[in-house]
Amino acid sequence: MLKRYKIYFIIGSVCLITFTLLGIIAGRVLLNEQTYKNLAVLTEVLELVERNYVEPVDLRKLYRGALTGLMESLDPECTYLTAEEYQAFAQSPQEEPGDIGLEVNKNSGFDYARIVRILPNSPAEREGIQPGDWLRAVDRLSTQKLSLWSIRRKLRGPIDSSVTLSITKKEKREAERITLKREKVSPERVSNRVFEGGIGYLRIPNFLPGVSGSVAQGLQSLQESGITSLLIDLRGNILGQLNEVIAIADMLLDRGEITSLKMPKGIESSYSAKVGTTLYGGKLFLLVDGDTSNWGEMLAAAIKDNKRGELIGEQTFGRGSLQKIIPLEDGSALRLSVGMFLTPGKAPIEGKGVTPDLSLTEGKIKEMVEREFVPGDPQLNKVLSYIAVSN
């Protein structure tokens, strides 16, 4: 009898959260016939599992699994937090100081996480982990079952604490287990240089707090060097904050929309370039790749759609949503994507990405005779060779 009560409690809880979720997504509670049919199927499945599964069912695990699957079927940024997880987050919302120096991304909620960047002088770099390797598990928890947000929080921890990773190298099939000690890892910094022919180069690795100030200094330094054109490198740029992207776009645009935020009830916010804030108005190129994500995609789309510069590289990743943590009555919480960023042309970035004006694998740039500006970086060499001819 007690077991039967528990299964009905789970069914009721899942249904309640499903209704809540549907209401948030659509801006209202959708109590239509199809919704009732779907919830009836869910009820039937849970009852059949409870009655017929070959071994005793852990009802709490079943409950969490249903809600986790529900959330992560939406996108990799969405997740369900148990009461314990949400309480831990509420007590310590800031990231732990200890890090191992790798950045990851996921194509969908049920994929393994792929390593995008390795930070210089980090435990991950010293261990030989490479971009393109697959992160299969963190402390024995499969990344297939974790949201991006959860993975990033689990990778961090107190300084000198350890974390065990399961990694599949690009050239191998078998996973290997690696234990790393966390330490204070500095984020990659903005850098700039001038190449032969007056080509200015500005590398923006992220949009973390303070990056816009470094970009402003870099632009000033490059222009004092007398550059004839500027290449901004956004490859692998996935982390940051909206205000930093807007500030940097303002330095490059003298007019036009930068991005807008679409919420369930329509466009809520629009961000446009301000008059008089432009720091560089010369010939502009942006380099992107398949790991350029989120904030990097936002800047790329703003430059492309406003016809301010030429976008070169690969189709970008396709991540551009806004998340909110919503507490539930039982002490648990949802981390839910509640907004979607749009390009100036009103196309969603999420799930689509940004298409470059010029692909590295086709057309005139594919046939370009490549000069070696930077040893070991064929993509950058090809783009710099193209710009050198274009100047």
pLDDT at 63: 77
pLDDT at 26 over 50: no
- C-beta separation of 154 from 102 below 8 A: no
Q: How far apart are CA 278 and CA 194, in angstroms?
A: 21
What is the distance between the alpha carbons of residues 333 and 93, in angstroms, rounded to a whole number? Answer: 14
pLDDT at 189: 95
Cβ neighbours of residue 14 under 8 Å, at least 6 residues apart? 42, 46, 63, 66, 67, 70
pLDDT tens per residue across span 119-171: 999 999 999 999 999 999 999 999 998 888 999 999 999 999 999 999 998 77
Same domain, 114 and 58: no
Residues 67 and 161 placed together within one structural domain of the fold? no
Give residue 179's identity as a one-letter amino acid code: T
Write the pLDDT tens digit of every residue in 259-286.
999 998 887 899 999 999 999 999 999 9
pTM over 0.85: yes
β-pair type (199-203, 229-233): parallel
CATH number at residue 140: 2.30.42.10
Give the C-alpha distances (Å, rounded to integers) separating 280 from 14, 218, 284: 53, 11, 9
In a domain, 83, yes or no: no
The residue segments making up the domain with residue 56 are: 2-73
Mean per-residue pLDDT of the chain: 88
Distances (CA, A) of 112 to 14, 115, 182: 26, 10, 22
Residues 234 and 345 in one domain: yes
Quickly state the pLDDT bin for 33 (edges 50, 70, 90): low
320, part of any domain = yes
Mean pLDDT of 99-119: 89
375 and 346 fall within a common domain:
yes
What are the tens digits of pLDDT across the range 334-377? 999 999 999 999 999 999 999 999 998 876 777 776 788 999 89
Q: Is the pLDDT of residue 23 over 70?
A: no
Please name the residue that has the structure tokens 């009905």.
Answer: 8
Alpha-helix runs per DSSP H in 228-368: 242-252, 295-305
Please identify which residue in the block is written with the tokens 């086709």.
362
Residue 87 domain-assigned (yes or no): no
